[in-house]
């Protein structure tokens, strides 16, 4: 049984390594562009507030949240949550992140289809992500002695497929938010050309973390699909 999961451990290890490298690069980029101070002197919170106003959104609050790169938009209470390194800072990295999170608020306000689809999957994925691996491994273990083991494993595979689908739906949501952010920063003359290039580069590396996560999830799904379907009696 242990040797049967060797491929899984290799996949997990490879994903963890690549994810770590991309995350490290993202932090490096964020730190680099944090030194590129905005000529307009606006903080991340002020950038976010201005972008909300320009898009006619007045029911979303901009608040500070603890941690580094913990920025996110919460559609339930309509808040743009900016990390400590973004909320008060006045640099290209802070502007990029703040505008990106407001991009999600704009998606929400305009009922962006990919975001709507993603939101509908959240309740299912929250359950599937916790149960899928246990169901898959339990089913695979039972396949050697019980006929219904494969059925259980396939149920687990379907649950995991839901999480994989969610990770791929997240990609257009994140890229679109970045595109909205960069377009607004440029069109509203919030940044200079040099600051714009820095913001674009920072958001590019942020997006790559989601690409790695999606590809890693797909690789794991395909591995278990081959393991389960390859053991059919």
Determine the Cα angle at 132 with ends 7 and 160, to 5°: 75
Cβ–Cβ under 8 Å, residues 173 and 139: no
Catalytic-role residue among 53, 84, 101, 195: 101
Is the pLDDT at 232 greater than 70, yes or no? no
Distance between CA atoms of residues 36 and 186, nearest Å = 16
Q: How many structural domains comprise the chain?
A: 1
Is the pLDDT at 132 greater than 70, yes or no? yes
Percent residues over pLDDT 90 in the chain = 73
DSSP one-letter string for 161-222: HHHHHHHHHHHHHHHHHHHHHHHHHHHTT-S-HHHHHHHHHHHHHHHHHHHHHHHHHHHHHH
The answer as to whether 26 is a domain residue is yes
Determine the Cα angle at 146 with ends 5 and 153, to 5°: 45
- Note down the domain range covering 141: 3-37+103-229
Active site residue 195: no
The answer as to whether 82 is a domain residue is no
Determine the Cα angle at 157 with ends 154 and 160, to 5°: 160
Half-sphere exposure of 166 (CA within 13 A, CB side): 18
Distance between CA atoms of residues 29 and 112, nearest Å = 29
Write down the pTM of the prediction. Answer: 0.88
The answer as to whether 11 is a domain residue is yes
Confidence category of residue 5, pLDDT binned at 50, 70, 90: low
Q: Pick the residue with more confidence: 187 or 142?
A: 187
Average pLDDT score over residue span 120-136: 92
**Lowest-pLDDT range of 26-30, 78-82, 98-102, 139-143:** 139-143
pLDDT tens column, 20-38 = 899 889 889 988 999 999 9
């Amino acid at each position: 049984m242990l040797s049967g999961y060797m491929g899984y451990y290799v996949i997990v290890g490879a994903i963890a390594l690549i994810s770590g490298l991309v995350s490290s690069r993202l932090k490096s980029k964020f730190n680099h562009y944090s030194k590129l101070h905005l000529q307009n002197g606006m903080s991340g919170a002020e950038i976010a507030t201005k972008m909300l106003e320009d898009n006619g959104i007045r029911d979303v609050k901009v608040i500070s949240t603890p941690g580094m790169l913990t920025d996110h938009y919460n559609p339930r209470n309509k808040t743009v949550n900016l990390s400590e390194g973004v909320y008060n800072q006045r640099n290209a990295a802070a502007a990029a992140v703040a505008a990106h999170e407001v991009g999600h608020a704009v998606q929400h306000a305009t009922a962006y289809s990919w975001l709507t689809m993603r939101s509908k999957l959240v309740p299912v994925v929250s359950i599937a992500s916790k149960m899928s691996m246990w169901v898959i491994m339990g089913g695979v273990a039972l396949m050697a002695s019980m006929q219904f083991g494969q059925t259980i494993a396939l149920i687990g595979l379907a649950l995991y497929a839901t999480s994989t689908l969610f990770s791929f739906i997240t990609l257009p949501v994140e890229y679109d938010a970045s595109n909205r952010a960069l377009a607004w920063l440029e069109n509203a003359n919030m940044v200079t050309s040099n600051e714009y290039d820095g913001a674009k580069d920072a958001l590019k590396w942020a997006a790559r973390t989601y690409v790695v996560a999606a590809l890693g999830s797909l690789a794991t799904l395909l591995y278990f699909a081959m393991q389960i379907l390859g053991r059919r009696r």
